[in-house]
Every structure is written in structure tokens, then in C-alpha cells.
Structure 1
């Protein structure tokens, strides 16, 4: 078994963490079991034996305590329902008996868990038939996590923390407040924050439920490098684990490297199966089924080992057992010239309508000249559409700028072949910031690529904006510090009102601002470096009116760097399940 960037993590050190009392002792990690496919590898954050790691999970139980409690109550409710049915079937039935629909049963809220990707790593020495090996990405690379947790309606910060995937603590955001007490007056909204925390591996931002409501929290990981093959900017939100994930935008053709990282923060093993879709249809790949991801570990899969030479590749990852987070580290090298790096994250599940915001398109004439050069065909903005079903999808694509809808070259209607991935070029669109909406009568998944840099002899960069969910109320949108940062909101149809309230590094939630967005337009709001002499590290975003969508757009002044982070769905609150009586 090799040793890579997830092994040998240096001891955690104290950082600028508001509302924190310092890290507590955490469990030791363990090496993951050997992979089952010859092009995969497991990565764990330590070297203790498995028994020590499982013991560590008990000490780390705060990250999953609420979820386990919710599942336990669900089992009790269903068992009670079964007992009622059995008792009713054994007793005499009157002629006037009737079936009663059981009401919804509340399930205790679980913890809010977000898995943040680790640093980009340079893949090396990986011929087919060996495990992936990674080397340091560059001398200037920095990987930082920013995050925030909001207080409850009673003004209490829920217990929250940032830890390594194996449970070793990195920073305590807020201690467990104990039993909540009733407030005499509406308290001011507060935030516990973790600011600019340097990380060297996958990390987990978790917040406990409080008052039987899921905590409202959010985080973002940002990677920057100004030298090396992986120079550029890449960012990804801290992702809620799931058992069903769709990722669009991978590329395994010459000079392109795609590594799928599957992370399991739960205490239950996950068995992941991958469905792969390319430009020519479904790809049957030996070794894409039954991939075991042990608790507290990350498993890396070199996608070229499953689907080599694929310029358009989409992944459907399904996990049996524990939920996982999935992210594809995608990088480009054109000869000796770096072509950028990005983290491709899951987007919305296949549906008949997909919306992506935060597209910053460059000058079309200069872009046309660039992509005409050999090796630069993917250096322009584009939309990729993955149709999982057998039926073709006739997709209508619309672009919305600050001043309304813009025509798409070619008419905006394309036919995407069933069971494959179709790319639609956006190279002829006028320069500016956009929201793109695509609709069809057949379900599909989608993501949009944006690029930066117009010189063939210089470094370029790219980013993928995944399709996202409609904005609701009280999203915590963390933003990296430094560089040019923008909130991009799109309202494809109908008017929407967006309120955005800054969260600063001192843990204060500042005065809210609002944007009234006309239907069929995109609004772009520049994020200031500071508010009231404190650095801005996030926003509380809420939307009302018609459907609106949001993305954080990241750039670096004077450099060809770009990143995009879609606004994640808000906290679920208290969940309910329907209990049906029957047999």
C-alpha cells in the first residue's frame, strides 16, 4: 500500500476560530483496507489498528449522534405501526370499520455534516495495474477552509467543530450548549466561525441539532497555487454526504487527469457502484462495482483506468450502506503548460429542468482564436448534458445576463442522445456573467464549464458550475478570503427578491442587504473584503418570490484563475415521515 497526501497528517494547530474554546483530543486514524480494483486506492488519516479507529468513532459520535437517533426513532415508529396492524387484524371487524390514515410522525433532527475536499494532489507513477500515487502539488499551494454555524432562534450556538475525516479535531467552533432555555426577547443572530483554517487532508464541518432542529451551517474549501502543474484556483463547498450522486464534466483524454475521491464520514462501511456515461453511450467498466469505502477514509479512483480517452464523462455514484461525499479532481496539462485545476462536485439529480449560475464568459473573438489551436478545444465555455435514460432529450437552452436573455449561437435547441453525454459550446456568447437554464421533456443532468486565460503560451484555468437547487431561506454561503469574489444570482422566470447578510470573521451577523431581480436576468454582487473592519467570510442568503439560483464566483486579479461554488440547499429542519397502516 502506498503512502500519499492523506497519510501522515501533521498535528493540528490552533487557528483563528471565533466562539471556540480550543480543540479536544481525538481518536487515532487507521489505514484503509486494500482496494478491490487494481486502479483504486484507500486513504486513511493515520496508522492505528482498526479497533483503535472504531473506538475513535465513539469519541467522535457528535457528528452522527443526531442521525443515529433519528433512525432509531423511525424504527420504533414503524415497529409500533406494525403492532397496531397485527392487533387490528386479530380482533373482530365491525361492518362500520374504516381505514384511518396515520398522521406524519416527526423524526428527531440529525447533525448537519459537510465533507470538505482535501488539497489537489499531483498524480504520478500510475500506469494501469498500480495504485494511485500522489506528490506535492507545488511550493506555493494553499488549502484553506472557511465555515460558519448560525445560532438557534434562542440565540444559542449549537455544538460544532471542524475535524479530520478520521475524527481528529482541527478546531472547535462552539461547545455543546446543553438544554436550551427560553429567551425573554428575540435574540440577535450570531455565528460561530472557522476562518482560514489550513488543512492537509479531507475535513468534516459538523454541527449538532439543537431544539430538535437541524443546525444551519456551511463551509467552503479553497485551493490556490501559482506554480507547478496544478497551478490555478479551485474551490468546493463542504458537501452533505448522500447515497446517490451525479457528477458531470470529467475528462480522461490526453493531457487530462480525473481522480474520483469518495469519502465516508459515517461509522458504517459504504459500498459504491459507478455508472459511467460518455459521448458514445454507456461505458461498461470492469472494477466499477462494489467499491468499499471504510468509515473515516477516502478512496481514490483514477477514472482513466475505468474509461480512458473520454473527453466528456459523467458519473452516477450509488452507495449501499453509509452515505458518501464524491468529488472529482480534474486537471489539464497541455504539453508543459498548465491548463488549470478544479473540483467537480455533484449537481442536482436528473430532472426535466436544470439551472446553473455564475458563468463568466470571456471575449468571444479571442476565445475563438484560442480554441482553434491544437489542444485547446476545451478552453471555452460549454454546457454538458448527460441523459441517463434510453430516450433522446430535446433540450431548450436559455442564457440570462444582467440586461435580459441573450441568444445562443445555433438557436438554443439541441438533441441530446439517450444514455450519453452531449456538449453544447457557448463560445460565441458575448462576454459577461450569465445564468443558463435548460429544459426538456426527458430527465437529464447538467453542468456548465467556464474558462479563464486567452494566451496559448500562458497558464489557463477552468471551473465547473453544477446544476443547483432553487434558493430557499437561510442558506449559509461561505466564501474564501482574498481575490475577487462575487455573488451571482439568476431568476430565469419571474421576479425574485434575494436578501444577503454578511457574516464576518469576528462571529457577527451584520446588516442585511437586498437585491430585487427581474425575471429573465442575472444579478452580480461584489463581495467586499471587510465589513465594519472585520473580514467577510460568508453570507446568510434567503430568497422569496419566483425561483432563483445562486453561485459564488471566484477570480484572482491579474491571474487567469477562476472557481465556482453553487449555493447548497439549506438545513432540512425537523423531518417528518409518513406512517401507513396496512399489510
Structure 2
């Protein structure tokens, strides 16, 4: 053996010993190493062909075998590459892929607010859950007040107040280039604003289209077109009053943006209590609704609470006593597939022949570890204690209704913040709320005044505060509900009914906040703003005047800065025990970024 042949044989043996050039090719591991062997042999073949640096071939290995091995290695490389490419192109199950969901920009849509219809008395005992209503009280009145904010250029977006079906009740503005037609004064203001904007385009000119107070006899919808890729800043509130009958008192509700997952807490289906859930579909898509019912002892399995069809442009009313009878505490989760729905519970109380009040329970914020409700009015503690101790009057006092949807109990800490700071609850303010149930926590025992209630827990929960007015068991009383709301941002529209004792209530549970409230008058003008500087842990009340600058006040534009602040509108009537509360509705939404998921 020559020296060159000896060296080549040693190199070949070393490669085989290290595993870089396997002697056999069985299994996937051999295929993955074949390309390296193929490249090495190909390089040797190239040297042989060129004659430069050539070394004698190993004895006993024909040249045809070397070439065949090279071709086999190349074929294996191609086959493996094909398999990899095919695998990368073959659809895989979603569980086998880990991809970031792309984000798409969604333009702002129209602003839609669905206003409930008048409060109506149930007639007799309904069969199942379908209600029959008796004629309304002779003194009952129901009206909607609305406002739509114009742009800084003095243009009011196309907007209208209309029934679910039919011609508009009030045309606020016909389009982007049109002036509001709610009143001649508003039209004049729009024209003046447009002129001022053309003369001095850098000076913002704010006007509003208004519906001061329009009487309605059914469900209505406030709609406003998007403007500058933002939802229009718009809002409406429905107010009901009656001075006689079983539904005497007042009930007020903000007209709500429909949704597909809503929480309503605070209903009562015990003896003498009536709770009617109204589901409204203002879209053009059918909605299929399912209800989750949480009672005082846990989740209620109720036949007929699933697959409720609500046709487009229609309302479906459900007597909750037909699904969950005898429940002193009841929470309802409304989930809709298809079209979004608006949901409201008409809650009323009748103690024997004495009316105990009426109000609308509206959706609050989704379950969270922290909930805040503003505008809680509490009466004198001694008189409340005497009243609630009487049979049938346990729900005649203020309380916080806490619904825990999860499987774990919630330890909830409750704090009340008044004008002078925090007031301690007699029981300490810490309770354990049962999982899958609704727990009531009394808020009585603190000095009379107006408060903000804040609750926190280690487990998510939903909450609504109950307000009461009236201390004599033989006299008609009233109730109200203030659902937990989101913190204040910028340009919330707060319409205000024309008459009655009206207050804006703002609370800042922790940290200092500054809230500005800018009046909107019936002539469409935006007046000079007022400012409330709220110290941390306090609540302020602002009395609403009848008019500003010689024109009736119809609403406010509310904005907040600093630490979280919350707001509500509290309404009463002089000389009567009427009370109602409306949480400040969320601000208008702009363009959103939403994840888009592709799958099978």
C-alpha cells in the first residue's frame, strides 16, 4: 500500500468512526446526515476530474459505486427537501401552530342608543314568562332627552330619534353638511358656527343638536353617524314619572349601546315584586339570546332561558318570575349570538296596596375585581333602621348587590366615600360573597348624604347599588338602581330631563381628580364649563340649574383628568319621594384595532 492510499484509508476510517459518513442509511437520522457525505464525495470527485490534488482511489471500491453513492445522496437531499416543503404547505391544525394574530383597523361605526319604553304594569298573573300589561296610569308621562355634539368646525353629524320601525320622531341633523332641525334656534347656531369657522378656521366652534324633551309611548332609538372616523359624541336619557297607580314614582335610564354580553344585577321576584326583562334588537340581524340566572343560593337552571329569538327591529319581554320565582336577589347575564341587543329590567315594588317604587335596572360594567358606583343617596340611619325592621320592608334600605359568576367565593371589601371622606360601615365593610350567587350588603348606618361606593375583591364580580327614598311605611316610596360604571374619560354626553330636582354627582375613590362639566342648552349652544376639583376619597354634588344664559339646560359634556373619577345623574321631584339615578354613559369610541384570527 502506498503512502497516499494509507492516508486515504485512515481518513475514511476516522469519518466512519465519528458517524459523519454512516455505512448504512436506515431511518431519518441517516437521511439528515447524507447531505454532508454527499458534499464531501462530490468534492473528491471534482478533484479527480480536474487532476489537481488527486489521490488514488480506495482499493475495492469501483468508480461507478462512488458515482452511484453521489447520485443517491443527491436524491435523498431532494427527497428530504420535498418532504419539508410539502409539510410546510400542508394545512396544520390550529393547535400545532403558534402564530401572532394580525391586527386590523376597524372604522368607527354609527352611535346607537336604545331607550326603553314606558314602565307598564303587569296585568294579573302571567302564564309562563310572557307578560300582559294593563293600561297605563292617567298621570304617567314618558319622555326622551337627547344631545349630539358637533365637530370643532361646527358640523353636527347626521342624527335622529326614531322608533324601532317607522319615521323619525325628531330629525336632529340630516347629514354632515346639514344644520340641525330640532329647533330653529339650533339651526341658526349651526349656520353661525359654520361662518365663524370659515372666517377663523383655527378657532374651534362647538355646537350641539338637541332634543329637549320628546314624549314617547314606546321604545325609541337615538342614532348618529360617525364623524372623522370617530363615533359621534351622543347620548339620550329616558324619564318616566307617575303620580298615581301601582307604578307611581320615577324611573330613568340612559339609552344604551347594544351588546352581546350584558350583566344586570339587583332584580327581585319575591312576593309583591315584579321584574320584567326587555330585550331589544335594533339591528338588521336576528339575535339568539341565552340567560344565566344567579339567585341568592346559586345558579338557577331554568327551562326556557336558552335560545330566545329576538327578531330584527323588535322587543321581547320576559317575566323573570316565570324563570326564577321567589328570588329576593337575582342577577341576569344576557348573552346574544347574531345581532347585539339592549337589555333592561323594569323593577317595581308593591307592599300590599302601597306602592314601593319603580325603576329600570340597566347593565353595569363586566365582572371585575374592582367596581365603583356613584350617586348613592342614603337617608337618616335611625329612621332607616326602624323602617327596614318591619315585615316586608327589608329591601326599603340602600344596599350593594354583588354577583359572583365564578366557581370561587369572593371576599369583597366595600368602602363609602362622602362629602367629607370615607365613612365606615357598621359591619366593617368586608363580606364573603358566595360563588355563582348574588349577595346583598346593607349600606345603611352611615350619616345621611350622597356617596360613592367602591368595592374590591380577589375574584371578579358584578355589582349594582340600590337607592331608596321614603321613611314612612304607610306612604308611597320609591327605589332606584345605580349600576357600576367605568371611570370618566373625555366628552361624555349627559342629557338631563327638563324638570325636577337634578344633581350631578362625582366621586374619586383614590387620588385627586378634576372634572369639567360644560352645559348644553336648548338653543344648541355649548356654554362656559364648570370645574370640580375632587380630593381623593370624597364625593361632590352639583345642583343643576333650570337654565343657562336664558335658555333651558338640556345636558352636559363631561370630561375628567387626573386619578380615576366616576359620575352619575341623580334625579328627584320636589314635594315627592321620587328618586332615580343614571350612571354616566361611556364616551364615544374611535377607530379600533382588533385581532383577526384565521382557522378552521
How would you bin the TM-score normalised by the shorter chain? 0.7 to 0.9
Match of 2:7 in 1: none
Which residue pairs with 1:127 in the alignment?
Answer: 126
Judging changes above 3 Å, is the alpha-carbon distance between structure 1 residues 102 and 443 closer, same or farther for their aligned structure 2 residues? closer
Q: Which residue of 2 aligns with 1:229?
A: 246
Using the TM superposition, give the Cα deviation of residue 578 of structure 1 relative to its aligned residue in structure 2, in angstroms: 3.9
Greater helix content: 2
Q: 1:177 to 1:408 in 2, by over 3 A?
A: same
Q: CA deviation at 1:372?
A: 1.5
Q: How does 1:121-520 map to 2 (within 5 A)?
A: 121-129=120-128, 131-178=130-177, 184-520=201-537
The 1:581/1:511 distance shift into structure 2, 3 A limit, reads same
* Cα distance between partner residues in 2 of 1:245 and 1:185: 42
Q: Secondary structure at the match of 1:433?
A: strand
Contact conserved, 1:167 with 1:296, CA < 8 A, in 2? no
Change over 3 Å in CA distance of 1:107–1:229 after alignment to 2? same
SS in 1 for 2:507: strand
- 2: CA distance between counterparts of 1:105 and 1:254? 52
SS in 1 for 2:302: coil
The superposition leaves residues 326-347 of structure 1 with CA deviations (integer Å, 9 ceiling, x where unpaired) of 0000000011111100000000
Q: Distance in 1 between matches of 2:389 and 2:348?
A: 21
* Pair 1:281–1:502, CA change in 2 (3 A): same
Partner residue in 2 for 1:59: none
How big is the shift at 1:185?
Answer: 2.6
What are the Cα deviations for residues 219-256 of structure 1, in whole angstroms up to 9, with x where unaligned? 00000000000000100000000000000010000000
C-alpha contact (below 8 Å) 1:249/1:447 kept by paired residues: yes
> Which residue of structure 1 aligns with residue 111 of structure 2?
112
2:557 matched to which residue of 1?
Answer: 540
Residues 1:100 and 1:560: Cα distance change in structure 2 (over 3 Å):
closer
**Distance in 2 separating the partners of 1:388 and 1:166:** 36
Task: Specify every segment of 5 or more residues in structure 1 that has no aligned partner in the other structure, as ranges.
Answer: 1-85, 92-98
1:566 is aligned to 2:565: no
Work out the number of aligned pairs and report it.
491
Question: What is the Cα deviation at residue 126 of structure 1?
Answer: 3.1
Distance, in Å, in 2 between the alignment partners of 1:130 and 1:475 is: 37
Distance of 1:403 and 1:510 partners within structure 2: 30
Shift of 1:519: 0.4
Give 1:379 shift. 0.4
Query: Which stretch shifts more, 208-217 or 376-385?
Result: 208-217
CA contact (8 A) 1:356 1:437 kept: yes
Deviation at residue 143 of structure 1 after TM alignment:
0.2
What CA distance in whole angstroms lies between the structure 1 residues aligned with 2:419 and 2:117?
Answer: 35
CA RMSD across the alignment: 2.2
Between the aligned partners of 2:149 and 2:532, the Cα distance in structure 1 is 22
Q: 1:463 to 1:582 in 2, by over 3 A?
A: closer
Secondary structure in 2 matching 1:161: strand
TM score, norm. by length of structure 2: 0.79
| Higher strand proportion (structure 1 or 2) | 1
Rg larger for: 2
Q: Which residue in 1 is equivalent to 2:22?
A: none
Cα distance change on mapping 1:324 and 1:579 into 2, 3 Å: closer
How many angstroms apart in 2 are the aligned matches of 1:131 and 1:100? 48
1:356-395 superposed Cα distances (whole Å, 9 cap, x missing partner) = 1101100011111111222111000011100001100000
Aligned equivalents of 1:168, 1:377: Cα separation in 2: 46
Taking a change above 3 Å as real, the CA distance of residues 157 and 368 of structure 1, as seen in their structure-2 partners, is same
Query: TM-score of the superposition, structure 1-length normalised?
Result: 0.81
Report if the CA contact (8 A) 2:402-2:462 is conserved.
Answer: yes
1:463 Cα deviation after fit = 0.2
2:541 to 524, 539, 556: 524
What do residues 92-134 of structure 1 show as CA deviations (whole Å, max 9, x unaligned)? xxxxxxx997985322210000000000001013333473111
Q: What SS is found at the alignment partner of 2:169? A: strand
Q: CA 1:102 to 1:295, structure 2 compared with 1: closer, same or farther past 3 Å?
A: closer
What secondary structure, in the 3-state scheme, does the structure 1 residue paired with 2:427 have? coil
- 8 Å CA contact 1:117–1:236 kept in 2: the answer is yes
Whole-angstrom distance in 2 between the partners of 1:510 and 1:446: 35
Preserved CA contact (<8 Å) 1:230 1:331: yes
Deviation at 1:186? 2.8
Does the 8 Å contact 1:554/1:562 carry over to 2?
A: yes
Q: Distance in 1 between matches of 2:176 and 2:490?
A: 25
Partners of 1:578 and 1:129 in 2: CA distance: 42
